[in-house]
Amino acid sequence: QVQLVESGGGLVQPGESLRLSCAASGSIFSIYSMGWYRQAPGKQRELVAIILSGGTTDYVDSVKGRFTISRDNAKNTVYLQMNSLKPEDTAVYHCNVKTKPAWSGLYDYWGQGTQVTVSS
């Protein structure tokens, strides 16, 4: 059974930084992408950052220049470095892994979520 274990969330003041991590365990094959989504109260879930299997990254416009997604393949871990945090970054952040095995279509795995609160 695949598990995605997230850590690194917390309460910070505007302008401060956090680094989220997501460690994948269990049997996971044919990873297509790893990414971070977030959902704030009253808003729809949105894709924040994604890294494809080949290393290409993309970000939602609101975090470009502030957030960086990276991975450590040896540890099966994906990170989200969040700098210059703003109150509008407050949300529950979820790790996501998409797989595409030869015997299946795309399948999503989700972490439990970690709360990020940016407030003065």
Exposure string (b/e) for 70-107, b if CB count within 10 Å is 16 or more? ebeeeebbbbbbbeebeeebbbbbbbbbbbeeeeeeee
Tell me the pLDDT tens digit for each residue of 39-83.
999 999 999 999 998 999 999 999 999 999 999 988 889 999 999
**What pLDDT, on a 0 to 100 scale, did the predictor assign at position 28?**
77
Exposure string (b/e) for 26-58, b if CB count within 10 Å is 16 or more? eebeebebbbbbbeeeeeeeeebbbbeeeeeee
